[in-house]
Amino acid sequence: MDLKEQIDKTKLPQHVAIIMDGNGRWAKKRGNQRIFGHQNGVKAVRETIEAAAELQLKFITLYAFSTENWRRPQDEVNTLMHLLITTLNSELENLKKNNIRLKTIGDLNSLPKDVSEKLKNTIDETANNSGLTLTIALSYSGRWEMTEAIKRIAQDSSKGTINPEDINEDVVYNYMQSSFMPYPELLIRTSGEFRVSNFLLWQMAYTEFYFTDILWPDFRKEDFFKAIINFQKRERRFGKISEQINENNK
């Protein structure tokens, strides 16, 4: 039985988030510059999206570029932005053919104009697709997203359009840029690192974490399926005890 057949289709996560890590180390191991790893990581992105679509998942979010990544060498940043455009150009027809909707989260105003325009075009072209929602986190950080939400809440509070006493977790999330998607049930991080790197901090309060030593350019469908199988073996208690979970499942 192959890995895909081992997956229980009744216990799939709605939303999987992925920190795609290890491109630079993958390239250095082969005596190449870091950008060589980013270029080869595109195949891993394609296979991961295909795997998610095959399982009929609803949401997948890829951490492509953090606000902190702007501190990297300028030539690497420039090449990454160019790679993003070429990938969007090459993958647009596949997204449309496979009924995949593209969304983005992050400080898109900080992106180069040609990148933001290409993103907007691809988002518009796929807006009516009803299958998997693929979200790319670009110039994103969890702290940035929460700070922006707090600013908007404060503005509305000062205008009297929201009462501070009415603010709860749902209200806060509705002010966040990522409020169109459910909280991720599973986070996958490649390359053997054990941290969340400022990614979806509010959303991952009860997310299951799956870490693998595989460097991102080597990540394939089978590795994605392994993560799903591992997730399905977890008992998700959300602060309760096992007996309560078992009782509710009867």
Domain annotation covers residue 119: yes
Domain annotation covers residue 199: yes
pLDDT digits (tens, 9 = 90+) for 45-88: 999 999 999 999 999 999 999 999 999 999 999 999 999 999 99
CB 217 within 8 A of CB 49: no
- What whole-number percentage of the chain has pLDDT above 70? 94
pLDDT at residue 115 is higher than 80: yes
Name the residue range of residue 112's domain: 11-141+184-234
pLDDT at residue 250 is higher than 70: no
Nearest to 219 by CA among 93, 28, 51: 51
Which residues are the active-site residues?
21, 69
Average pLDDT over residues 103-110: 95
Count: domains in the chain: 1
Give me the count of residues in the chain: 250
Domain annotation covers residue 44: yes
pLDDT at residue 40 is higher than 90: yes
Domain annotation covers residue 118: yes
* Residue bearing tokens 């501070």: 164
- Burial class from Cβ neighbours inside 10 Å (0-12, 13-18, 19+) for residue 42 reads middle
Domain annotation covers residue 156: no
Domain annotation covers residue 170: no
pLDDT digits (tens, 9 = 90+) for 190-245: 999 999 999 999 999 999 999 999 999 999 999 999 999 999 999 876 565 565 55
pTM for the model: 0.92
pLDDT digits (tens, 9 = 90+) for 142-155: 999 999 999 999 99
Residue 208 sits in a domain whose CATH number is: 3.40.1180.10
Domain annotation covers residue 190: yes
The confidence score (pLDDT) of residue 84 equals 93
- Burial class from Cβ neighbours inside 10 Å (0-12, 13-18, 19+) for residue 158 reads exposed
Domain annotation covers residue 130: yes
